């Protein structure tokens, strides 16, 4: 079965992540944008959230 178009479930770690269920993307916690797994660069292990860009990640971090 193809994973194309399916939402992946991830467990975010410090510097890496573990895929818990099949899929090819996650959703940015702030913008709602689809992030392909091969383009995922920004996340917060503490909040277990993915972010589409460095700017979004920084803004979220500063929110507290």
* Rounded (5°) CA angle 38-47-17: 30
* Mean pLDDT across 49-62: 98
Residue 42 predicted with pLDDT over 60: yes
Categorize the per-residue pLDDT at 47 as very low, low, confident or very high, splitting at 50, 70 and 90.
very high
- Residues with Cβ within 8 Å of 61's Cβ and at least 6 positions away in sequence, in order, are 44
Categorize the per-residue pLDDT at 2 as very low, low, confident or very high, splitting at 50, 70 and 90.
low
- Burial class (CB within 10 angstroms; exposed 0-12, middle 13-18, buried 19+) of 14: exposed
44 and 12 Cβ atoms separated by less than 8 Å: yes
* Domains in the chain: boundaries: 9-63
Residue 17 predicted with pLDDT over 80: yes
């Amino acid at each position: 079965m193809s994973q194309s178009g399916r939402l992946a479930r991830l467990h975010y770690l410090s510097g890496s992540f573990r895929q818990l269920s099949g899929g090819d993307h996650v959703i940015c916690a702030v913008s709602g944008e689809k992030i392909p797994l091969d383009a995922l660069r920004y996340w917060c292990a503490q909040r277990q959230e993915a972010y589409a860009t460095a700017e979004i990640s920084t803004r979220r971090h500063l929110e507290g």
